[in-house]
Amino acid sequence: MAEDAAPKIGVYVCHCGGNISDIADPETVARFASGLPGVAVARTNMFMCSDPGQKLIADDIQAGLVDRVVVAACSPKLHELTFRSVLQRNGLNPYLYEHANIREQVSWATSDHAEATAKSESIVAAAVAKAGRLQPLDPIVVETTPCAAVLGAGVAGLRAARDLAQAGIEVALVEKTAALGGNVAKLDRLFPNQESAGELIGRLVDEVLHDERITLYTLASIDRAEGYVGNFTLHLRQKAGGVVVDRAARLNGRTIGAYRPFEGFMIGDHGAAEEGQNGDDERAVVIEAGALVVATGFEHYTPTKGEYGYERLPQVVTLPDFIELMAGVEPGSRLEHDGRPIKSVGFIHCVGSRQVEGVNKPQADGEINEYCSRVCCTATLAAICDLQEKCPGVAVYDFYQDIRAYGRGHEEYYEKASKGGAVFVRFAGAEPPAVAKAPAGDPCLVTVRCKDGLTWGEEVEAGVDLLVLAVGMTPSDVSTLVDSLKLPVGTDRFLLEVHPKLRPVELAVNGVLVAGASQGPKDVTEATATASAAAAKAMTLLSSGRIELDPFVATVDSQRCEGHGLCVEECAYPGALVLTEENGATRAIVNAALCTGCGACVAVCPTNAIDVAGWTLGQYEAMVDALLAEPQEVTP
């Protein structure tokens, strides 16, 4: 295309199967668009994203009718890439494309037909104005470090590390504690197949420790992270006693470890010490990685003091405490806690989950947890079944809101617990059970009082010797990583994926993937599935040694630049903008891989010599002009 040739813009207006056309009239919008300067064709289709819709564009490009494209449809987050690739497949630069959002921001936000159609017209006019000023752009190619860093060595991290290593990728596996296995190691037998946590972790650890492509760091936490997709740098701090299992340590052949129940897999007397890596002091470790898999997991919710008697009554324990207690109980033996025989056990669900504002006490950070923690129902039922099996005479009271035994093999625990005589009492989230110390002389130690939703809301009281709180999940603290890489976090404070269905294991920061419960409560099955899914994405990123990035970075017009250097002062990214001498003149130069395209430099340039590619000031000015242009009458 000759530089000075007038643009031939194609405008395509989508009906979205009525989503748009029930409110705004695509035909009128297309007619209006056909009268705009630079517009060569304007068409409509039922679903522009469908094959026939895309073919409309392809045919017009192939026929030489259009060399720039505007699609007026849903939000660009859904289909901007779809349409860019239509241009690319048909030989046009994909960045000669502009998207007009007339569904989320028009037909779904307005009920008046005339207003919606007029607004759509203005939005299309602005998009056309921008399209006429688009320049072809080429992606920025970045060489990638052929290594992935996996943060967290719980089941998700172990699984992701193992997958990546087996795919031939070097992996740095970073664990903040001394043990491998994370929270799963603090369990006994796992639902639904009653496999022991130790066996499961042992199997994963075995693969991880045998794979020479994995370097393991224990007792290592993240101080700081920087970089961008393909080239991240992690600054770790490894505590005294932290282990490094790398090729050298493996060759030393003394990487011995053992699984300790309720602690995890401990790397024992290891070869790394000989390398002098293991002194008494903390040490800094720097890791370069092309992609990050965040598998930092969860913390059990800690009840606030006095919540259901926690930390006030010694008979009130959490479910993980109870699981550990039961692991030591031989079948048929007498159940004891705190030196006293236990004849009845109560369980309260949703402790720290499904909380209600004004009812549940906020945590230290002032937050309440509205979300469901997903695993506690089945975990509680499995614990009840274990109790019934080992100590058949013990009475069981289960206080719940809804039994969420959703997974394969979960419902069986519910049935078994019911058949085993557990008494279920349903409470409402707004009226949680009240727990008190039993009055003197009462045969039980603790009383639980609750309005029973199963019997017309009548007040029931159960005396129990032990009360188990089914605590939910809260995200692990990954604030250093979140702050330094600007990772998105949801209202539930877990890491937030780009889209739960389109990109479920990717974070908005390119190259950072999420696995396991750091994204939200998950059971082991679900955690390992997300780990493998995240591994698939990392494998795609790192397999070719190079990736292509969006070209939306600052560009300097060296004809206009006078070397004032205000942009360099304004830029927050070291190295992204520098002044250099060019033919005796000072000029600003951009490092495209470091520039984030924020545009801070654009606003301060006294000679308008800098723009962000794809988002230029000239384009914005033209869009504003187009929005304000008087609508032209177009006769049908």
Partner 1 sequence: MSETPRFDALVIGAGIAGLQAAVDLADQGFKVAIVERDPSIGGAMIALSKVFPTLDCASCITTPKMAAVARHPNITTFTYTEVLSVGRAGDRFVASVLSKPRYVDEEACIGCRKCEYACPVEVVDEFDGRLGARRAAYIPFTTAIPQTALIDADNCTLCGACVRACPTDAVVLDQRPREWQLEATAVVAATGWKLTPVGAKPQYGGGEITNVLEPTQMERLLAPHGPYGRVIRPSDGKIPESVAYVQCAGSRDQTLGVSYCSRVCCMYAIKQAMLLSGSLPIADITIYYMDIRAFGKGYEEFYRSAQAMGIEFVKGKVARLTENDDQSVTVRVERLDQFGQVEERRHDLVVLSLGMLPGEDVRQRFDLEVAEDGFVMTPQPKDAPCRTTVDGIFVAGTASGPKDIVDTIVEAGAAATEASLYISKMIAAAETATAASSADVTSPAADRVEVKV
Partner 2 sequence: MNAPGTTALSAQKILVLATATCAYPAADATGQAHLHYPANAFIMRVPSPVLFPDEFYFRCFEKGIGGILVMSCGHECPYAGAFAKLAARIDRVKLGLKERQIDPGRIRLSAICTVCTKPFLKEIDELNSLLATPSEEAIA
Contacts to partner 1 from residues 61-120, by CB under 8 A? 74, 78-79, 81-82, 85, 89
Please tell me whether residue 502 binds partner 2 under the rule CB under 8 A: no
- Pick from 43, 119, 404, 587: which binds partner 1 (CB under 8 A)? 404
- Cα 550 versus chain centre, distance: 21
Please tell me whether residue 475 binds partner 2 under the rule CB under 8 A: no
Q: If you search the block for the tokens 């008190």, which residue do you land on?
A: 436
Q: 520 to each of 308, 372, 390, 476, 527, how far by Cα in Å?
A: 25, 10, 33, 10, 10
- Pick from 284, 359, 624, 634: which binds partner 2 (CB under 8 A)? 624
* CA dist., res. 102 & res. 76, Å (int): 10
Count of beta carbons in the 10 Å neighbourhood of residue 58: 17
Site for partner 1 in 118-157 (CB under 8 A): 155
Please tell me whether residue 592 binds partner 1 under the rule CB under 8 A: no
- Pick from 106, 319, 385, 391: which binds partner 2 (CB under 8 A)? 106
431 binds, among partner 1, partner 2, none (CB under 5 to 8 A by kind): none
374 binds, among partner 2, partner 1, none (CB under 5 to 8 A by kind): partner 1
Please tell me whether residue 109 binds partner 2 under the rule CB under 8 A: yes
Smallest gap from residue 614 Cβ to partner 2 (A): 9
Site for partner 2 in 320-379 (CB under 8 A): none
Q: If you search the block for the tokens 């002194």, which residue do you land on?
A: 279
Please tell me whether residue 501 binds partner 2 under the rule CB under 8 A: no
Please tell me whether residue 529 binds partner 1 under the rule CB under 8 A: yes
Smallest gap from residue 455 Cβ to partner 1 (A): 6
Please tell me whether residue 104 binds partner 2 under the rule CB under 8 A: yes
> Pseudo-torsion of CA 564, 565, 569, 575, nearest 10°?
170
Please tell me whether residue 591 binds partner 1 under the rule CB under 8 A: no
β-bridge mates for residue 5, sequence order: none
**Sign of the four-CA dihedral 156, 161, 162, 166:** positive
Query: What residues contact residue 114 under an 8 Å CB cut-off, 6+ apart?
Result: none
Q: In this complex, which beta carbon is closest to partner 1, that of residue 455 or of residue 479?
A: 455
* CA dist., res. 7 & res. 67, Å (int): 7
Residue range at the interface with partner 1 (CB under 8 A); choices 61-69, 435-443, 448-456, 627-635: 448-456
Site for partner 2 in 600-619 (CB under 8 A): 600, 602-604, 612, 615, 617
DSSP 358: T
Q: In this complex, which beta carbon is closest to partner 1, that of residue 290 or of residue 599?
A: 290
Please tell me whether residue 288 binds partner 1 under the rule CB under 8 A: no
Please tell me whether residue 384 binds partner 2 under the rule CB under 8 A: no
Number of residues near partner 2 (by CB under 8 A): 47
* CA dist., res. 23 & res. 45, Å (int): 15
Q: In this complex, which beta carbon is closest to partner 1, that of residue 38 or of residue 407?
A: 407
Q: 285 to each of 225, 269, 288, 409, how far by Cα in Å?
A: 12, 21, 10, 44
Smallest gap from residue 540 Cβ to partner 1 (A): 5
| CB contact at 8 A, 258 and 179 | no
Q: If you search the block for the tokens 């996996």, which residue do you land on?
A: 150
**Per-residue DSSP letters for 523-585?**
-HHHHHHHHHHHHHHHHHHHTTSEEEE----EEE-TTT-----HHHHH--STTTEEEEEETTE
Site for partner 2 in 545-604 (CB under 8 A): 552, 570, 572-573, 596-600, 602-604
Q: 415 to each of 74, 388, 412, how far by Cα in Å?
A: 47, 13, 5
Judged by the rule CB under 8 A, the positions of this chain that interact with partner 2 are 75-77, 101, 103-106, 108-112, 114-116, 118-119, 122-123, 126, 486, 488, 491, 508, 552, 570, 572-573, 596-600, 602-604, 612, 615, 617, 620-621, 623-625, 627-628
